[in-house]
Amino acid sequence: MRCLQIQGGNPIRGSVVISGNKNAALPMIAAAMLSEEEIILHNVPDILDVRNMLAIAEALGAESKFQNGSLRLRAGSRFSSEPSLPADLCARIRASLLFAGPLAARYGSARVFPPGGDVIGRRRLDGHFYGLRKLGLEMREEDKCFHFSRQRKLQGADIFLDEASVTATEHIMTVAALASGTTIIRNAACEPHVTQLAELLKAMGAQISGLDTNQLRIEGVKQLGGAEITLEGDHIEAASYLSLCAACGGQLTLTGKLPPRHYWMTRRIFERFGLNLILRPNLLTLESNSNLQIVPDFGNAIPVIADGPWPQFPSDMLSCLVAVATQARGTVLFFEKMFESRLYFVDKLISMGANIVVCDPHRVVVSGPARLSGCEIPSPDIRAGMALVIAACCAQGESILKNTAMLERGYSNLAANLRSLGCRVQEIEK
């Protein structure tokens, strides 16, 4: 098992180039199945999740070349009458389901096994099935497999999602691009990666309006062509490194394709810790000291940090902020509204010495600062794993973080980046 050996106690100093948005790259690879022509993506992160999505595309017959952050992908027209995704690859990644709609829309049918991904609570697929059925795709479950088929001509529809699901919005949008007439997705997710996918589809010839809002309008076209696009920086990765600096103290500069508007809420949350995150186009800077302190709400009330659909604070950022709170003077309540298992990792922080009260599966109260001690800990999911890296980097003594393959799903060159910032980190086998 690959592990990270971390000797804590060093402040952070240096810079990191932020990779392209993982959650934009994955649906873009699936969307490439909509066209016979070449799709070129730049600034693609070289992470395990991207490699797994590419492995699925290649298993379906697509040709790909991935080098120095640039990906060339051509689906061609060599699929069977019912393209089938390999079960083992589907189990590795949740985004595997996003192949179903494009394949069924273009070839008439597709067979997809249940997707994998992080175990952070129930992650509904109902929005996917509801929206695809409204557009004209049928789905049945048989022998632990999903069979999608196009029984009639795809037809645009007025679709209201009962939750602003990112992947359901993306899935419906890719199919609607080839559906006759107009599709309206109401209560759509509007995260930056949803917008980036829409921009790729538009470059391929799709007609989509309402970007960056919760109502998307898609005018279907007969076919889509090739396109070339550069991914924006991953705001979750950026927030992870900012959290590392906040917890350990020091100075950090982040560069890359970083639109300031993606970090307005991150800046607001960091202000709750008395931190000043400076936003400039393609440049983020943070300076933190040992006097990290939680700013109470009006009337000296305990503040609440809660997640929610964009532009609220993303759920994927919450775990790292819990680690930061263990090093701040004061008390804060974290309210994870979206996933009932997201906060289960805090028992690992408690074993390291954190002062955390678990109220219920969705809420924890953190009081600090706590003197954390190094220990041997597993990485339960991508974001919890990064939170534990942060805790280990500011803890006294040595920590062994096991199952770092989980972190490789979402972070490129993590160990090297940490060392460049002054963290004492080694990759070991255990």
Angstrom distance (rounded) from CA 381 to CA 410: 10
Give whole-number Cα distances, 97 to 58, 110, 209, 234, in Å: 15, 10, 25, 22
Which is it for strands 145-150 and 109-112: parallel, antiparallel or unpaired? antiparallel
Q: Dihedral through CA 346, CA 235, CA 23, CA 259, nearest 10?
A: 170
Q: Which residues are catalytic?
A: 118
The token pair at 272 is 């709750």
- Burial class of residue 305, CB neighbours in 10 A (0-12, 13-18, 19+): buried
Q: Are 323 and 388 in contact (CB under 8 A)?
A: yes
* Cβ atoms of residues 3 and 74 within 8 Å: no
Give the residue carrying structure tokens 């070289």.
Answer: 46
Spatial separation of the C-alpha atoms in residues 314 and 340, rounded to whole Å: 15
Closest by CA to 42, choosing from 249, 256, 260, 361, is 256
The β-bridge partners of 321 are none
Q: 3-state class of 137 per DSSP?
A: strand
DSSP 3-state of 386 = helix
Which residues, at least 6 apart from 135, have a Cβ–Cβ distance to it below 8 Å?
154, 155, 156, 157, 159, 172, 175, 176, 179, 183
Rounded to whole angstroms, how far apart are CA atoms 334 and 263? Answer: 19
H/E element, 133: helix 126-135
Torsion of CA 189, 213, 29, 107, to 10 degrees: 90
- How many residues belong to the chain? 430
